[in-house]
C-alpha cells in the first residue's frame, strides 16, 4: 500500500502546504510518494526529495502542467494512480480545484478538508463551518483526500528520496491560463504565518487598514488578514480573507482588530493558539473566543500597541 501526495508548488519552490499533507500521509501509514507536476519544476522536485518520510518523488516536467490547470493535472494523476490506496492534496485553492476531478474520474468519493486520521479509511472533517466535526468512513478502494493544513504539523527536512520521471500526457487544450495577478508582499504567507494581524469593518477604510495595521504587522513579522466584511468593503483584496470561505489559519498569535466575530470568520481562525481581540464593543462575539480582549478605540490602541512593541 502506497500513498501519493500531490505537491503544491510554483515550479521554483515547494509550497509549505505540501509538508502538512505529507504529515497526514504519514499518519495513514505506508510508503509515501510525492508527485511534482509542473514545467521546469526541477527545483520544486529537489525540495520535495528533501522532505522527511518520502520514499520517492515522481516528476512530470512538461508544458501542460506549467499553470496547474485542473484538467491536465487530474488526467496525469489518474494515469498514474495505479498502486495507490490514498491520493492526498493540501486543501488549498489548487488542491480543492483538482482533487474532486481526480476522484470523479476514479469513480470514488472525495473526503474534503480532513483534520485527523482515525484509521486508513476513517477521517475527521469539519462540517457546517466547523460547528460540527464528522467522522467519516470511506468504502472506496482509493481514498482521494484534501488535507486541512492547520490540522497537521509540517513534515521536517532531512530526507533524500530518489526522483523518477513520469511520462507526461497530452495537453487537453480546453483550459488556458491567460493572466495571473498575485498580490505582491514581503510579508509571510497567510497560511504559513506564525503571527497574523487581521482587520475588520471597524477600521472604517482601506487607508486606515494600511496605516494602522501595516506598522503593527511589520513589528511582529506578521501576515495581514481580514474579515469578509473588510474584503467586501474593498479595504483589501479577496486573498486576505480569513473564514469559512476564505483561508483557514491557525497561527501562534492571531490579532483580530475591529472584527466583530461572525461565525463564518471564527470558522477560519478559532484554532489559533492565542487570540487577541481589540474592539470597541464589549459584547462582540470575538471576545468569546479571544484569550485576551481589549475593549476600546482601535484608532488609539493599535498605534499604542505598535509603539510599545
Per rule CB under 8 A, is residue 140 in the interface with another protein?
Answer: yes
From 126, 159, 200, 225, residue interacting with another protein (rule: CB under 8 A): 126
82, 180, 186, 283: residue in contact with another protein (rule CB under 8 A): 180
Does position 122 interact with another protein (CB under 8 A)? The reply is yes
The only residue of 26, 138, 150, 260 in contact with another protein, by rule CB under 8 A? 138
Q: How far is the CB of 129 from another protein (least distance, A)?
A: 7
163 vs 293 by CB, closer to another protein: 293
- Pairing assessment for the beta strands 116-119 and 122-127 based on DSSP bridges: antiparallel
| Distance, C-alpha 295 to centroid of its chain | 31
Task: Among 191, 199, 200, 268, indicate the residue that binds another protein (CB under 8 A).
Answer: 191
Contact window for another protein (CB under 8 A) among 34-42, 43-51, 152-160, 284-292:
284-292
200 is a site residue for another protein (CB under 8 A): no
Taking CB under 8 A as the binding criterion, the range among 28-36, 55-63, 136-144, 198-206 that sits at the site for another protein is 136-144
How many CB atoms neighbour CB 75 within 10 A?
Answer: 18
What is the Cα–Cα distance from 83 to 226, expressed in whole angstroms? 43
Nearer to another protein by C-beta: 69 or 80? Answer: 69
- Distances in Å between the Cα of 81 and the Cα atoms of 77, 96, 102, 155 are 6, 18, 9, 23
Contact at 8 Å (CB) between 245 and 222?
no
Residue 239 as a binder of another protein (CB under 8 A): the answer is yes
What's the grid cell of residue 92?
A: 488549498
Rg (CA), the chain: 21
Q: Determine contact, residues 269/198, Cβ cutoff 8 Å.
A: yes
Whole-number Å distance between alpha carbons of 190 and 283: 28
Measured CA to CA, the distance from residue 113 to residue 240 in angstroms comes to 20
Smallest gap from Cβ 109 to another protein, in A, equals 4
Q: Which of 129, 166, 233, 250 binds another protein (CB under 8 A)?
A: 129
Among 133, 162, 211, 297, contact with another protein (rule: CB under 8 A)? 133
| Rounded least distance, CB 105 to another protein, Å | 5
119 is an interface residue for another protein by CB under 8 A: no
**Spatial contact of 53 and 112, defined as CB atoms under 8 Å apart:** no
Total residues interacting with another protein, rule: CB under 8 A: 89
Q: Which of residues 53-112 bind another protein (CB under 8 A)?
A: 69-71, 74, 92-94, 96-105, 107-112
* Sign of torsion over alpha carbons 307, 250, 8, 96: negative
Amino acid at each position: 500500500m502506497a500513498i501519493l501526495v500531490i505537491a503544491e508548488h510554483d515550479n521554483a519552490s515547494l509550497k509549505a502546504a505540501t509538508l502538512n499533507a505529507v504529515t497526514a500521509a504519514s499518519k495513514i501509514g505506508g510508503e509515501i510518494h510525492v508527485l511534482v507536476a509542473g514545467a521546469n519544476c526541477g527545483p520544486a522536485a529537489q525540495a520535495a526529495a528533501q522532505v522527511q518520510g518520502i520514499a520517492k518523488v515522481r516528476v512530470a516536467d512538461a508544458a501542460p502542467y506549467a499553470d496547474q490547470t485542473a484538467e491536465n493535472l487530474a488526467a496525469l494523476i489518474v494515469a498514474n494512480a495505479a498502486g495507490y490506496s490514498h491520493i492526498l492534496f493540501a486543501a488549498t485553492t489548487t488542491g480543492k480545484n483538482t482533487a474532486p476531478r481526480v476522484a470523479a474520474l476514479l469513480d470514488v468519493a472525495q473526503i474534503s478538508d480532513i483534520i485527523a486520521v482515525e484509521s486508513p479509511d476513517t477521517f475527521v472533517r469539519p462540517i457546517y463551518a466547523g460547528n460540527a466535526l464528522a467522522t467519516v468512513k470511506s468504502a472506496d478502494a482509493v481514498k482521494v483526500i484534501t488535507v486541512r493544513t492547520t490540522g497537521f504539523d509540517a513534515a521536517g527536512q532531512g530526507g533524500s528520496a530518489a526522483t523518477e520521471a513520469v511520462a507526461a500526457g497530452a495537453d487537453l487544450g480546453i483550459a488556458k491560463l491567460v493572466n495571473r495577478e498575485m498580490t505582491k508582499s514581503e510579508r509571510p504567507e497567510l497560511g504559513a504565518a506564525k503571527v497574523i494581524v487581521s482587520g475588520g469593518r471597524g477600521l472604517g477604510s482601506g487607508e486606515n487598514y494600511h496605516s494602522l495595521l501595516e506598522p503593527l504587522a511589520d513589528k511582529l513579522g506578521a501576515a495581514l488578514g481580514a474579515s469578509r466584511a473588510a474584503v467586501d468593503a474593498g479595504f483589501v483584496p479577496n486573498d486576505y480573507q480569513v473564514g469559512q470561505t476564505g483561508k483557514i489559519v491557525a497561527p501562534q498569535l492571531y490579532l483580530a482588530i475591529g472584527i466583530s466575530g461572525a461565525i463564518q470568520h471564527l470558522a477560519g481562525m478559532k484554532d489559533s493558539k492565542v487570540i487577541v481581540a481589540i474592539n470597541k464593543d464589549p459584547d462582540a462575539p470575538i471576545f468569546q473566543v479571544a484569550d485576551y480582549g481589549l475593549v476600546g478605540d482601535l484608532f488609539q490602541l493599535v498605534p499604542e500597541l505598535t509603539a510599545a512593541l
